[in-house]
Structure 1
Amino acid sequence: MLSELDKALDATVEVLIAPGAQLEVTTATVRGVDLPVFKGAPPSMREYLGFFLQANADKEFVVYRDERYTFADIYQQGIRIAAAVQHKYGIAKGDRVAIAMRNYPEWIAAFVGLLHLGAVVVPMNAWWQPEELRYGAEDSGTRLIIADEERARRFATLDKFSTPVVTVRTGAGVADELGDCRLEDLLASSPPTPWYLSPIAPSDDATIMYTSGSTGFPKGAVATHQGVVHGAMNYLVQGLAMLQLAQTAGVSLPEQQVMLLNVPLFHITGSVPILLVSIAIGRRMVIMHKWDAGDALKLIEKERATYFVGVPTMSLELMQHPDRDKYDISTLLDIAGGGAARPAEHVERLAEAFPGKHPAIGYGLTETNGVGAGNLRENYRAKPASTGRASKPMVEIKIADDDGNALAAGEIGEVCIRSVANVRGYWGKPVETAKAFTADGWFLTGDLGRLDEDGYLYIVDRKKDIIIRGGENISCQEVEAAIYGHPAVAEACVFGLPDERLGEIVGAVVYLKPGEMVEPAALIDFTRDSLAAFKVPAKLWVSAEPLPKLGSAKIDKVSLRKQYRELVVERSAAE
C-alpha cells in the first residue's frame, strides 16, 4: 500500500503537470516513440540557462573559498567564453569541446558558455590519467580542451597530441608550457559576445559523458538538448512538489536554498540534478575543493547549507566524524545519496545521527541523464533497501526478462528505464547502442532488480561486469587488461569486494606463468601507470593453481568473486 507521503506527492505532481499548468505534460514522438514531455519546456539548453540565470541574476550562486559569484556573474562569464572560443578557435555548433578540471567556478561558466554557443560539451573525468584523457579526446573528436593545471600537465605528457588546451588557474609562465593560452588572456583578447549563434533544435547533441560499462573502454553517452532539459525539469517537478507539501505543513523555509557541492560536476549527478536544478531554483552552491568530512561540517555551519548530496560514503563519514556535534548543522534539511548503493542498515543510523534531517537516495544513470527512481524521508526509512519509485512525471521503469517482456511484481529481471531524458546512444558505437537501447525507447541498465507491489525498485545485482567504487563505475575488463600487461601474468580475474565506506573496492586474483615470481604489491603498483587511482586494485591475490574455468573455458568469475568476497567478510569479522 502506498504511503501517505506517496499519495500526497502524486496528487501534488498531478496538479503541477495538469493541462493549463506551467509544467503541463503532453505527449510527443521522440526517436520514433511516443513519450511524455513538458509542453512548455525550453527548446534547448541555451534558452533554459538564459532564462533561469537571468531570472536569478542578483542572487549569490557560486561560492569557492573566498570567491563569490552571482548568477549574473556566471552567465556573463559564460557568454564571454562562448565568444572567445568562437573568435580564436572557430568553435561552432556541433563541435566537441572538453572540460577537464576539478570543480571550479570556471567549470560552470564554461559549461554555460559552450552550451549557449551550441557546442557539444565533453565533461572529462578529472581522475583520468594521460592515456585515458587521450582516449576521451580522440574518441569524441574533441576540437578544444579547457583544463585546469593538473589536467593540462597530464595532457602535456602525451606524444603526438595536438588538440589545443586553454588553461584555467595557471600562472602566466606555466601556462605557456602547458597549453595554447590561459583563459584569462583569451577572454581579454576576445569580443564580449559571439558574433553569430546557430539555431539549436531539441534533437541536437548537447553533451557526451563517458561511462564505464562491461567493455574495456568507456563509452560516450550522447544526450540531446531535449534530454538534458527534461532530465533537469523532471527533478524540478519533484522538488516543487516537496516544497508545496512543506509549505502546506507550515514548515519555515530559508530565503535561499544552499547546496554543498562535494560531488564532481563531470558526473551526471553533479551536472543535472545538482547544477541545472540549482540554476532553475536559484540555489547557492558552495564548492568543496576536496572532500573531507570535517571540512564539510565546517562549511555546512558557515554557509548555512540546507542540502547535502554525495555518494553514500560521504554521509557515512559525516555520521562517524568525531567532531560532528561541535558544529551547528541545524539548517540542513536533507542528506541525499546516489551513485552507489547505501547499505540498508545505514539509513536508520543516519536518521538517528542527524535528528530532524531526512535521508534520501536516488537511482539514475549517465544514460538516463540522472533520472530514474527516488526514495526519500519516511518512505526511505520504511523501505531502506529500495531506491524508490519511478520519478514522475517522465520516467517509466520495468523489470524485463531476457526477451524484453515485463515481469510481475516480485520477479527478478533486468531494470529497464524509459523517458525522454534518455540519451540517444553511444558516440560512434552503433553496435553497443543497439544492445543497450531498444527500438521502443527502453534503456537496458545492466542492473538486476525487482519491483514490489507499490512500484518500489530494489537493485539486487548486476548483469554488467562492473564495480561501483564510491560512485565511480569501473570496468573489470579494463583492470584485467592492465594486469595482463605484466609479462609474468598468465591469468587474471577482477571483481568487486565489499567495503563499508566505499560500497565496493577492486579485487583481483592472478595466476602467474610457470617459473615467475611477483609479489601482489608489485603487481598493484604496475597497474598505476595505466589506470586512474580509483581503478587500481585494493586487494590482489596470487593463486598457486590455474584459475577455475567454466565449460566454455572462460574463467569462472562468479565462483572466484564469491570465494574472495567471503574471505574478505570473514577477515573483517575477525578483526
Structure 2
Amino acid sequence: MFEIDASIGATYDADSKEWLGPKFVDFYDHNASVGRILFEQMRRCPHSICQISDSEQTSLTYEEALMQAIRVAEHFRKLGLTQRDIVGVVARNTTHLMAVALACFFNGIALHAVNPNLEEKSVKSLFETTKPKYIFFDGQDYAKVERATNDLETNLYTLSNHLSKVPSVKDLLKPTGSEHTFTPAILEDGPNQTLAILCSSGTTGVPKAVTISNHKRFFDMFHFLNSEDVFFVLSTLDWLTGLIMLIASIGFGAKRIITERPFDAGYFLKLIPEYKITFTIIAPPLLAVLLNHQSITVEKLDSLRYLLYGGGNCSTHIQQGFQKYLSHARMIFAYGLTEFEAVLTMNCKLLEKPQAVGRLQPGYKAKIIDESGKRLSAGEVGEICCQHSRQWLGYHNNNVATEAIYKTDGWFHTGDLGFFDTDGYLHVIDRKKNILKYFGMQYCTKEIEEVIVQMPHVTEVCVFGISRDDVGDAAAAAVVKIPGSSLNAPDVIRHVKEHFEATYKHLHGGAVIVEELPKLGNSKLNRKAIKEMFLSSQTRNSNTVF
C-alpha cells in the first residue's frame, strides 16, 4: 500500500485496487439521533438568527425556531404518530417547513419530501409508495396534491398560501404548555433508522423514494464552515443538498437564507450582497447563466467564502470564467449521489485539476470496474463504485431498484464512468447511459458539450442521442444562446465538425436553438424532457437542422 497524499491521509491499495479516503472520526455519540443533536445545538445559541425567508420577509431566531418545532412535534405525538409512520411534504422553501422537518427529526418520524414541481402522476406514485399519515403542502398545489392522494388515508395541511377549507400548520404552532419539558425521542432502530425519504433525479422516468438514515455525516461534510457563515441554497428538502443545508446550518449555529422563488440570475445576484451570503451550492447549468448575466460583478459576489457546485458537468471554460468574479472565494467541485447519502469527493484545487471532481472524503472507499466486474488501475476508465461503513436502507418499498445499484457486498454502483489519476483525484467522464454508439463507435456526450459551450454566444447546451435503426445513436444538441445573438443551428453543427476529426462525434442528429433548457427541481438538466422537446421541434421549429 502506498500513500497518494500523506497530508490528507488518502491511500491506494494496489492489491485490492481500492482508493480509500482519510480516516473518519465521529465526534457524536453513535446512537444520538440527528434530531437530538439539532435540538441541543439550537438551545446553545437562542438569540442568533436561524433562518430568514426573503420571499416572505420573515426571520426566526434559534429560540423561536426551536419553540415552533417543539410545538409541532408535541402535536404529532397527540395525533398518535409513531416512529413507524411517515409525514410527507410537497413544499417550497417557506418559513414553517423547517418546523415540520425538525418535528419529524425530534420524534424519529421519517420525513418524505416530494418536489412541488413534479407532475401529478409522480406525486401520486411516490406517496402511494410511502403512504404518509399527514402531508404538508403549499396552498397553490392543493388541487394536484388532493387528486394525487385521494386514494390514501392521509390528512392534508397547508404550509403557505393557506386555504379556508384545509387545516393549516399554524394550527400546530399553538402553545401546548409543556414546551419546556419536551425531549427528543430515542430512536427505536438506532442510527440506521430512516431520517428522511428523498427523490431520485427522475431523469429517466418517475423518481424513486430514496431513504436517508440518521447518520452523523451531515455535520462534518462542510467542516470548513462555522457559526459566522450565512448559507443559501435554492434546493428544496426533497434534494440531498436541501436536506444537508438545513441540518448543517443548524449544526454550525449559522444563518440560513431561504426563498420560495425559482432561480433567476438577477435575483440571485441581489441576494448575495444583501444578506452577505458566504456559502452557496449551485448546479453547473446555473453557473453558465450567471456568468452571462449583464449584472454580474466582482462586488456582488464579494461576501462569498465558498461556492460549491456539482450534480453535473461544468466546462473548464465556464469554471474559469466564473472564478474571475470571485475576489477571495474558493470554488469547490463536489461529486456524490443521493443514494450514497453524502458527498463522495470534493475538489478544492480547481486550478491544478480543473476537470477532476476531487479526492475521497474521510471514511469512504471507491473502486473502478469494467463491465465484467474486474477492478481497474489508475488511469483506466470504468464504472465508479463507492462504499461507506453504514448500511443503506434502499429505495423505499422497491427491492428490485435497490439491488440494481446496491450490492450485497455494500458497494454502490453509481452508473457513472470515470477514473482515478495517480494523484488520487477522481475524474467523471459521463453517465453510462450517456455513452452512445454511432456505427458501432462509442462517443461521450460530455465531450461534445464541452466543445459547444466554448462558442462565444452559447450559455447552455445539452447533447443526447437520437436513435436510428441504420446508424445507432446520432448526436443531437439543444443550445441556449445569449439574448440578441445571431447564433443559429448551422453554426453549432459547423463548429462541432471543425473541432472533431472523428465523424461519429458530429451532430448527425441535428441541432436546435432554444430559449431555455428544461431543468429538474435541483436545477440539473432534465435530459429526458430536453430530448422530447427536441424531437417535437423537428416538424415545427425552423431553426432545427438535420
- In the TM superposition, what are the counterparts of 1:232-381 in structure 2 within 5 Å? 232-236=218-222, 238-239=223-224, 256-272=228-244, 274-288=245-259, 289-325=261-297, 327-376=299-348, 379-381=349-351
Match of 1:57 in 2: 46
Query: Matched residues in 2 for 1:408 and 1:344: separation?
Result: 26
**In the alignment, structure 1 residue 127 sits paired with structure 2 residue 85:** no
Tell me by how many angstroms 1:84 deviates.
1.7
SS of equivalent residue, structure 2 residue 307: strand
Residue 347 of structure 1 and its aligned partner are, at CA, apart by 1.8
Q: Tell whether 2:423 aligns with 1:454.
A: yes
| Residues 375-524 of structure 1 mapped to structure 2, 5 A cutoff | 375-376=347-348, 379-391=349-361, 393-420=362-389, 423-464=392-433, 498=449, 500=453, 501=459, 504=462
Query: For structure 1, which segment, 97-106 or 398-407, has the greater mean C-alpha deviation from structure 2 after superposition?
Result: 398-407
Structure 1: how far apart are the matches of 2:298 and 2:350? 27
Q: Quick check: 2:231–2:256 contact (8 Å CA) kept in 1?
A: yes
Corresponding position of 2:213: 224
Matches within 5 A, 1:20-39: 25=24
Q: How far apart in 1 are the matches of 2:293 and 2:204?
A: 38
8 Å Cα contact 1:148/1:168 also seen in 2: yes
AA aligned opposite 1:67: T
Change in Cα spacing, 1:164 to 1:464, as seen in structure 2 (3 Å) is: farther
Structure 2 unpaired stretches of 5+? 11-21, 437-444, 454-458, 470-517
Say which SS state the counterpart of residue 356 (structure 2) adopts: coil
- What is the percent sequence identity of the aligned residues? 24
Q: CA 1:416–1:509 in structure 2 vs 1: closer, same or farther (change >3 Å)?
A: closer
- Specify the SS of the correspondent of 1:371: strand
TM-score (structure 1 length as normaliser):
0.71
Using the alignment, how far apart are the partners of 1:390 and 1:455 within structure 2?
8
Give the counterpart letter for 1:165 in structure 2.
L
What is the CA distance between 1:160 and its match in structure 2? 3.6
* TM-score using structure 2 length: 0.74
**In angstroms, what is the RMSD of aligned CA positions?**
3.6
Identify if the C-alpha distance between structure 1 residues 437 and 159 changes in structure 2 by more than 3 Å, giving closer, same or farther. Answer: closer
* 1:214 Cα deviation after fit: 7.6
Equivalent pair of 2:368/2:384 in contact (CA under 8 Å): yes
Counterpart residue number, 1:552: none
Q: Which amino acid aligns with 1:383?
A: K
Count the aligned residue pairs. Answer: 454
Q: Measure the CA separation in 1 of the matches of 2:124 and 2:328.
A: 47
**1:356 Cα deviation after fit:** 2.6
Output the CA distance in 1 between the equivalents of 2:338 and 2:331: 23
Matched ranges for 1:72-87 at <5 A:
72-87=63-78
Deviation, 1:276, is 1.6
CA distance in 2, matches of 1:38, 1:398: 27
| Deviation, structure 1 residue 263 | 2.4
User: Which residue is equivalent to 1:538?
Assistant: 533
- Opposite residue 132 of structure 1, the aligned amino acid is S
1:505 offset after TM fit, Å? Answer: 7.4
Secondary structure in 2 matching 1:239: coil
Q: How far is 1:353 from its partner?
A: 3.0
Question: Is the Cα–Cα contact under 8 Å of residues 93 and 198 in structure 1 kept in the other structure?
Answer: no
Q: 1:185 corresponds to which residue?
A: 171
Q: d(CA) in 2 for partners of 1:128 and 1:506?
A: 23
Q: Which amino acid aligns with 1:540?
A: L
Whether the 8 Å CA contact 2:42–2:250 is kept in 1: the answer is: yes
Which residue of 1 is the match for residue 99 of structure 2?
Answer: 109
- Opposite residue 462 of structure 2, the aligned amino acid is E
What is the CA–CA distance in structure 2 between the aligned matches of 1:239 and 1:195, rounded to whole Å?
Answer: 30
Report the CA distance shift for 1:409/1:204 in structure 2 as closer, same or farther (over 3 A).
same
